[in-house]
Structures are given as C-alpha cells and as structure tokens.
A and B are shown apart, each in its own frame.
With several copies, the nearest count.
Chain A
Amino acid sequence: MDKNKVKEIIAKRVAQEMKDGDVINLGIGLPTLVANYISDDIDVILQSENGFVGIGPSPKEGEEDLDLTNAGGQLVTIKKGGAFFDSATSFGIIRGGHVNATVLGALQVDSKGNLANWMIPGKMVPGMGGAMDLVVGAKKVIVAMTHTAKGSPKILKECNLPLTAAGQVDLIVTEMGVMEVTDKGLLLKELGPGVTIEDIKAATEAELIISEDLKEMEI
C-alpha cells in the first residue's frame, strides 16, 4: 500500500477516538496528521507540551510568529480561546491527568501495554523529551504507527528495547487493525481495509485475541 495512504488510514481511525471537549496531545510525525481528520462537529483542544492549548493550523505566509511553535519546533498558530503557559504548567497538565488522550508512535509495543519509543541502545539516543510524562499522565494512550518496520513486527510478546513506560498503552492503531490492551492481552477489534485475520497474525509477534465483534475499520 502507498505510504501516504497507510498514514491516512491510521490518522483517520485515530481521529474517531476523539470526543467533544477532549484535550489531546499529538506526538511528532504521523500522530500530527490526526488533527486533519477530527470531525468539525466536535470541539477538540490540542495541547502542545512546549506550552499551550489550542493549536491551530500552520500560519499563512507572512503571518509566521517565531515565538509560536509546536513541540516539534514547527511554526503554528493558536486558536481563538487558546492559552499559553510555561513548561511546569504544561507538564502539570500532562502528569495530572488533564489530557484525555495522547497519540504517539512506537518502536515497539507489547501485549502488556509496554511501550518503547525513545531509544535504541548504542544507536539512537535522542532523549525521551516529554514522551515519558505523556504516556504516564494522559488518561488514554493511543499508539499510532505502521504495523511493521521493514517487515519486522513491532507489536511483540515483550518489548526488548528500553521502555518509555510500563503498562500504559490502551489502544494500538495501525493500517492493519485496531487492538485494545486488556488484562488478557491484545484484543483485535477491527481489521484494516482488505486485511484478514491471517494477515495481521502473520505480521504480529504478540498473541491476538479476536473480538467477537470483530469488524472492518470504518474510514
């Protein structure tokens, strides 16, 4: 499947998780795309951990403000009714459970809801930034990612990279399906367009429990 199509499927499906009044933090990269698909019928407030609520679209040419960026350093705007604050307040909001959901990518995620997305020992050590606080603090943690990396499963029996947080992931959304982390393991609730149970099992190291209400993603 086309890479952009894959991202679109994932972002569209994640957007369906948002409810009116929700405060949402979208991670850098794919998760940022979710903003494009949130229904106009609901009021969702996007939080930027560098210090504001009410992220708006990219500025028009000539209206850029160098003092107004998102957590990825990109120039953005603030919506009417938004509010700026310092990092201490920003992470108070995050750690204190005032963010309804955070959407992040992952290097690995496992059947216990463990998440690894911040380093590969000896290779890539960029730092955790705000990810560890977000994953521990947000009420709901949604992992949004491509199902595999160069064909290798990323949804594992057990993560072997250093964890970002233990047992905090609630939902995994990929182009192949939607999986909920339950006490018994990963519950496959939806299949991606054209994906079979066999397809997704083959691409997943962790055991998948098939939901009785298994359906196809509506996107």
Chain B
Amino acid sequence: MNKLISIEEAVNHIEDGMTVMIGGFLAVGAPIRLIDALVEKGVKDLTLVVNDTAFIDTGVGKLIVNKQVKKVIASHIGTNKETGRQMNEGEIEVELVPQGTLTERMRAAGFGLGGILTPTGVNTMVEEGKKKIEVEGKEYLLELPLKADVALIKGAKVDKKGNILYNKTAQNFNPTMATAAGTVIVEADEVVEIGEIDPNVVMTPNIFVTYIVDGGAK
C-alpha cells in the first residue's frame, strides 16, 4: 500500500460537483499546494466545506475567485469580499454554520453519530428548519452529520503509512476533516519514514489517510 502520490495524481481524485472539505483557519494550516493544483485543474461546481473562505489571494479563497465553487458551508466568509459579492449576486450559495457546530457535525459524520444536540443557535436564525429537542428542561438543536467526498488537509510531519503530526494552530479543522470524507489527502510539510513518529503522539492515525502528497515545505 503506497499512499505517497504526486499533487497532480491527488487532484485527479476531485471531480466536478464533489463536496470537498479543506482544512485551515484563515489559511493557517491549509493545504495550499493542493489548493493551487485544484485552481490549476479548474474543477467546478464544488461544494466547499471550510471554516472560512480565507482571502482572495490566499488559501481556499482562490477557488472562490476562480468561480469553481457553487456552494460554501462555512462559519465565516467576512475576510474574502468575493464570497460576499458572489453570494449577494446569487452566483454562489452560502450556508453559515457556527464554528463549534461545524466541527461537531463533521465529527458526527466521521464517528458514526446520527447527530448531536447543541445549545448553540437556539432562538436565532440558525435554528430554522431544525428539530428542537428538550433535555432536562433545556432546549437544543439537533444538528446533523456533515461529510464530504474528499478532504484535503495539511500535516506538518507525516510518515509514509499516513500518521500525522500537526503544528501549533495549523491543526484546527484538519484532524476532524480527516475522519469525515471518503478520500482523505494530506499535504505534508515533511514526509518521514514509518517509525519516525512516536505512536504515542500521533494526532491523526494512519487508518484515516488515503493519500499523502509531499508539499515540499520542508
């Protein structure tokens, strides 16, 4: 099982119309080389699941600017004016999800839960169309699992079996996205041999990772 593939091979796993999760928080911890390859390939009609749409010239923001996205599911789009413009013009659909709910919905999908009850969003616009369930006198929203066809994530150090270490705040959504997609592709700042990562501190176990690309950052 050789998981190490080229960036070109990697982006071939992404086709028009797919739902794609991409890690990163304002582009920190985003797999920027995979994103660039995706921009170059020009696949379109993507549904993007991201924390935010980053900036017009950095991270997933480029995919928005390049009009490859038909729908965005995110907690924040304010740092990329093009997302707002396309939304106001009706060119793109935007589903805003509270950040904690976004990560829990992914985790539910990845970890086999049918949903989770969260107090976040009760009595706000967020509750529209959702089931409200009362537990011990308190109201919660039933939030449903959110999964993707492909997840593109970034690791700092990845061994050839797929075990991942993340670095500092570049961790963010990456570990949870790794659980919630059919195909998981990790862009590694550094690829190391199997055995070089202490099994005790692995942050994403190899079984979640389908392919590894060497991002060449190190």
CB neighbours of B1 from chain A (8 A)? 20-21, 43
**Are B99 and A67 touching (Cβ within 8 A)?**
no
Query: When the two chains form the complex, which single residue of B107, B124, B168, B200 contacts A164, counting CB atoms closer than 8 Å?
Result: B124
Which of A73, A96, A127, A163 has the largest count of B CB atoms less than 10 A from its CB?
A127
Q: Is the CB of B26 within 8 A of A136?
A: no
Bound CA–CA A54/B104 (angstroms): 24
Judged by a CB distance under 8 angstroms, whether A162 is at the interface is yes
**179-204 of chain B: CB within 8 A of chain A:** 179, 194-195, 199-200, 202-203
Interface residues of B (CB under 8 A from A): 1, 25-29, 51-52, 74-79, 84, 87, 94, 96, 98-101, 103-104, 107, 109-113, 118-126, 156, 159, 161, 163, 166-176, 179, 194-195, 199-200, 202-203, 205-208
Contacts of B125 in A (CB 8 A): 162-163
Within 8 A of B (CB), among A38-71: 43, 45, 47-54, 65-69, 71
Establish whether residues B123 and A88, one from each chain, have CB atoms under 8 Å apart when the complex forms: no
Extra 5 A-B pairs, beta carbons < 8 Å, given A67-B28, A81-B163: A65-B168, A86-B174, A86-B203, A96-B111, A129-B99
Q: Which residues of A contact B166 (CB under 8 A)?
A: 86
Within 8 A of B (CB), among A88-147: 88-89, 91-98, 124-133, 136-137
Residues of A within 8 A of B27 (CB): 73
**What residue of chain B has the Cβ atom nearest to residue A47's Cβ?**
B207
Query: In chain A between 1 and 54, which residues have their CB closer than 8 angstroms to a CB of chain B?
Result: 20-21, 23, 43, 45, 47-54
Look across to chain A and name the residue whose beta carbon is closest to the beta carbon of B171. A86
Tell me the A151-189 residues at the B interface (CB within 8 Å): 162-167
Assembly CA distance A130 to B97 (angstroms) = 9
- By beta carbon, the residue of chain A nearest B200 is A84
Q: CB distance B96 to A128 under 8 Å? A: yes
- CA–CA, A47 to B25, complex, Å? 16
Task: Report A-chain residues with C-beta under 8 Å of the C-beta of B94.
Answer: 125
The chain A residue sitting closest to B102, CB to CB, is A87
30 chain-A/chain-B pairs, Cβ below 8 angstroms: A20-B1, A23-B207, A43-B1, A50-B169, A53-B205, A67-B168, A67-B170, A69-B25, A69-B26, A69-B28, A69-B169, A78-B199, A80-B195, A81-B163, A83-B206, A84-B202, A87-B51, A87-B172, A88-B107, A91-B111, A93-B207, A95-B111, A96-B179, A125-B84, A127-B74, A130-B98, A133-B101, A137-B100, A137-B112, A165-B124
Interface centre among A66, A125, A129, A167 (most CB of B within 10 A): A129
Say yes or no: A53-B26 contact (C-beta < 8 A), given A73-B79, A95-B112: no
Contact between A87 and B103, CB atoms less than 8 A apart = yes
Please tell me if the beta carbons of A126 and B76 are within 8 angstroms of each other in the complex.
yes
Q: How long is the Cα–Cα vector from A89 to B206 in the complex, in angstroms?
A: 13
Interface contact A132-B124, CB-CB below 8 Å: yes
Assess the A98–B208 pair: CB atoms within 8 A.
yes
Question: Which A residues are CB-close (under 8 A) to B168?
Answer: 51-52, 65, 67-68, 78, 84
Bound: A89/B175 CA distance, A: 11
Tell which of A20, A83, A129 touches B75, judged by Cβ atoms closer than 8 Å. A129
Q: Which residue of B lies closest to A65 (CB)?
A: B168
Sort A-B residue pairs by CB-CB distance and give the 9 closest, nearest first: A126-B78, A91-B100, A95-B112, A92-B111, A133-B100, A166-B123, A83-B202, A127-B76, A83-B205
Give, as a whole number of angstroms, the nearest-CB distance from A67 to chain B: 4
User: What distance in Å separates the Cβ of B172 from its nearest Cβ neighbour in chain A?
Assistant: 5
Distance in angstroms from B31 CB to nearest chain A CB is 13
A82 at the interface (CB under 8 A from B): yes
For A92, list chain B residues within 8 Å (CB).
100, 107, 110-112, 179
Minimum CB–CB distance from A121 to chain B (whole Å) comes to 9
Residues of A within 8 A of B173 (CB): 86-87
Which one of A43, A97, A166 contacts B112 once the chains associate, using CB atoms below 8 Å? Answer: A97
Closest Cβ–Cβ distance, residue B78 to chain A (whole Å): 3
A155 and B174 alpha carbons, distance in the complex (Å) = 39
Return the chain A residue nearest B3 by Cβ. A21
A91 with B26: CB separation less than 8 A: no
